[in-house]
Amino acid sequence: MPVKKKRASTTRQPTSVVTGGAGFLGSHLVDLLLARGHKVIAIDNFITGSVDNIAHLGGNPNFKFIQQDVTEFIFLDGPVNFVWHFASPASPIDYLEIPIQTLKVGSLGTHKALGLAKNKGARFLIASTSEIYGDPLVHPQTEEYWGNVNTIGPRGCYDEAKRFGEAMTMAYHREHGVETRIVRIFNTYGPRMRLNDGRVVPAFVSQALKNQSLTVFGKGNQTRSFCYVSDLVEGIYRLMNSSSVDPVNIGNPHEMTVLEFAREIIRATGSRSRIVFKPLPQDDPKQRRPDITRAKTRLHWEPKVPLKEGLKKTIEYFRGKV
């Protein structure tokens, strides 16, 4: 039985490392951690992250930024209490353009981040994804479902990187005694998403604000569920501070079709846009909705921000970017 390394003391101000800390989700997590008294070290190589997402933190004595590819060895002085591994491309456009980097950050990057946690005696959380369920044959998706993934399809590089990351995380937990947490993130939206991200929220909002046609794939009857980013990071924070080693879905179980969502965006923006239909991409999930029973019972968490309110904040942000 491996000897478990003693965790760094959390009696003083805790130190958190956030990989992918300049990304959409990572930067919101950094803000939450700073607001709750953590010292934060963010690591990002800006492949998909942006300095704009963390520019407001310049001069904050509790914040440090390191520009680095996390697939390389991570060396840090001083104690670390928590490692939040968020580094990864996360949109179809990204992982179609940079599939090898996507696979590397999910495998080598996860290995290096886990190595840091092991070395520091820190608790580790990996940002996994609903994409590990693939095009699901079970609906809604529970954490017990093993998924339906096309390993050699165009989305396979992302899906399999995340599935490998989960496996590596559990291996470190079992063999080295690292305290680990796994969050499976469902569709999330909010300020700091990239306009050219390729995901449905920035795509529809940017098209609507320009009065361009909204592109709906297939007949638009595929479903998605949308969680506002502040709800998501709150759930993730609670997961890290829980005792749940098993994966936990974090997302909004309110499900709607993509066509319904397109109409909602047109209404919310006051756009003159029309809707056009294009062929459905390969392996595009037909249904996506989390079962959040585990999050409710173990974390006492559920989303609170209504879609109308979240969209208002998101659209305001995109107005300044279009």
Could you give the residue numbers annotated as active site? 158
Element (H, E) at 115: helix 110-120
Q: How far apart are CA 115 and CA 74, in angstroms?
A: 8
Coarse DSSP helix, strand, coil percentages of the chain, rounded to the nearest 5 percent: 40, 20, 45
* Token digits of residue 209: 């604000």
Residue 182 near residue 127, CB atoms below 8 Å: no
What radius of gyration, in Å, describes the C-alpha atoms of the chain? 19
- Nearest one of 3, 16, 29 to 230, comparing CA atoms: 29
Residue 218 near residue 279, CB atoms below 8 Å: yes
DSSP-derived letter for residue 157 is H
Dihedral sign for Cα atoms in the order 271, 277, 283, 285:
positive
Beta bridge partners of residue 69, listed in sequence order:
none
Per-residue CA distances from 253 to 142, 182, 232, 293, 296 (Å)? 11, 19, 12, 10, 12
